[in-house]
Structure 1
Amino acid sequence: MNQPLAYVHPGAKIAKNVVIEPFTTIHNNVVIGDGTWIGSNVTIMEGARIGKNCSIFPGSVISGVPQDLKYDEEDTLTIIGDNVTIRECVTINRGTTHKMKTVVGNNCLIMAYCHIAHDCVIGDHCIFSNNTTLAGHITVGDYVVLAGMTAVHQFCSIGNHAFVTGGSLVRKDVPPFVKAGREPLSYVGINSVGLRRRGFTTDKIREIQNIYRILYQKNYNNTQAAGIIEAEMEATHERDEILQFIKDSQRGIMKGYFKSN
């Protein structure tokens, strides 16, 4: 890592085989794991905890001070897992007293110009396409794909295996296993392509489809639909995950799509 044109604070803990390219700045109270590559002109600020075998491309700023007027220089963290790729000019801000940390899981791809604000918690195997923007306090599950220029409102949740189409404005919670699109953002089917890629069987995909038909296509309200799903559908991990997501939703789940007259 011995790069004379980069600045590494003596208080940073950098694994021996980390590569740091010229003109990068690494502040105090930073930890970077084995095999990680840091491109030129990257800034890694206090509180960053970066895992093994990550790649951080030029122009990115990791663990910047939150863009939150309530932040008062608390000692908070940005935690990034292993095998994460962060492309050019991504900004990831550290936490506030709400969660004390911002988290990005393992094996994620965060494409160019994305922003992840304070206190977000991102699961594993997520893909955020170019210019995706997350406000503060957002929770994203595993295997979530957010297509380009998606913007997510603060305190929203997005469930496991969800896919959100490009240019979307996410104002409500997006349940697991679904595709979300149109304006306002609505249910447009389940993420069958993604589920097949991840080994879900045809029977399991059909089960998930049947659950969402009750929720979105039978003219029940959410409480009625959840009761019917619980009473009539076999108890499985996926069924229970969907029901728990609906129960836990703070902003309310997105609506089903309907045509205007």
Structure 2
Amino acid sequence: MAIIHPTAIIDSSVNLAEDVEIGPNVFIDANVTIGAGTRLMHGAHIGRWTTIGNGNQIFPYAVIGQAPQDIGYNQEEAHTVIGDHNIFREGVTVHRGNRENTSTVIGNNNFFMVNSHIAHNCRIGDHVILVNGALLAGHVEVGNRAIISGNCQVHQFVRIGELAMMRGGSGATKDVPPFCINDEMSWIRSVNLIGMRRNGFDTSRILAVKRAFKAIFRTGKRLEDSIQELESQKEVTPDVRMLIDFIRASKRGVGSGRGKLAE
């Protein structure tokens, strides 16, 4: 049975699973579903058309599923879909989709720190960390185990690859490839060695990614020429293939690595 504080305001259409805990002064709008074991602390706000999975922690004054900051939005039914075991710290904001039947989607086991922001239509994978004040504009995609450091800014439609990292205060107006570190404004600075080691990458996998990184970002060759040379090698590891495929799929282009020293 859900535990609900008497000061909470909950629409009659809301569906609460077992063991949901609703704290003081929480507000939950219409057409919301909340999974088992999720905890909403005092002052949390859940907007309409939001689905929240199991075991999430929503800290005081977080706002999940509110209307997007888009002047073209006219209160159409749009959604926020959140998986399991995520942490939303104080003041985090997550906005729903900006057009009818669109969604903002968040996976599992993510950690969103104080005052970070996820705008409309974003797609967040699993085990992602947004540090205090990190800002994602609309339609941003973030791959698994990426880290967006404090006060980073990500332009709309940018993709952040798996195990990529943005250094504190940096910005991204272009895509950040998997396994790479973004610094300053869309400078692909180096390989995320620490992140790869922490996630169990052995020496051979790391060396293959490092060689591919240098071939792509440090030779001064055209990006397409560098990728073709990589693909012509006898063996292309799955990690390098992920890197190549991510770059080939880019619509905004990837950040620059040329004219800087490696690592």
| Same fold at TM > 0.5 | yes
1:148 — aligned with what?
150
Matches of 2:234 and 2:181, distance apart in 1: 21
- Bigger shift: residues 108-117 or 237-246: 237-246
Aligned residue for 1:49, secondary structure, equals strand
- Describe the superposition over 1:155-174 as per-residue Cα deviations: whole angstroms up to 9, x where unpaired: 10010000110001111100
Aligned residue for 2:214, secondary structure, equals helix
For these two proteins, the number of residue pairs brought into alignment is 259
* Residues 37/109 of structure 1: CA separation in 2 closer, same or farther (3 Å cut): same
1:251 — aligned with what?
252
Matches of 1:214 and 1:45, distance apart in 2: 47
2:86 — aligned with what?
84
Whether the 8 Å CA contact 1:55–1:83 is kept in 2: the answer is yes
For 1:26, give the aligned amino acid. Answer: I
Do residues 73 (structure 1) and 58 (structure 2) align? Answer: no
Whether the 8 Å CA contact 1:188–1:257 is kept in 2: the answer is no
* Residues 247/103 of structure 1: CA separation in 2 closer, same or farther (3 Å cut): same
1:189 — aligned with what?
190
Whether the 8 Å CA contact 2:78–2:103 is kept in 1: the answer is yes
Aligned residue for 1:255, secondary structure, equals coil
Aligned residue for 2:190, secondary structure, equals strand
1:161 — aligned with what?
163
2:107 — aligned with what?
105
User: Paired residue for 2:13, among 7, 11, 14?
Assistant: 11
Q: Please, what is the CA RMSD of the aligned residues?
A: 1.4
Whether the 8 Å CA contact 1:98–1:119 is kept in 2: the answer is no
TM, length-normalised to structure 1: 0.96
Shift of 1:187: 1.7
Residue identity over aligned pairs, in percent, reads 37
Aligned ranges 1:163-242 → 2 under 5 Å = 163-181=165-183, 183-232=184-233, 234-242=235-243
Whether the 8 Å CA contact 2:219–2:258 is kept in 1: the answer is no
Aligned residue for 2:60, secondary structure, equals coil
Matches of 1:99 and 1:162, distance apart in 2: 30
TM, length-normalised to structure 2: 0.95
Whether the 8 Å CA contact 2:143–2:160 is kept in 1: the answer is yes
Shift of 1:185: 2.7
Matches of 1:172 and 1:157, distance apart in 2: 8
Matches of 1:192 and 1:240, distance apart in 2: 18
Structure 1: state its 5+ residue gaps: none
Shift of 1:49: 0.7
Which stretches of structure 1, 4 residues or more, deviate above 4 A after TM superposition?
Answer: none
Structure 2: state its 5+ residue gaps: none
Whether the 8 Å CA contact 2:55–2:84 is kept in 1: the answer is yes
Whether the 8 Å CA contact 2:172–2:182 is kept in 1: the answer is no
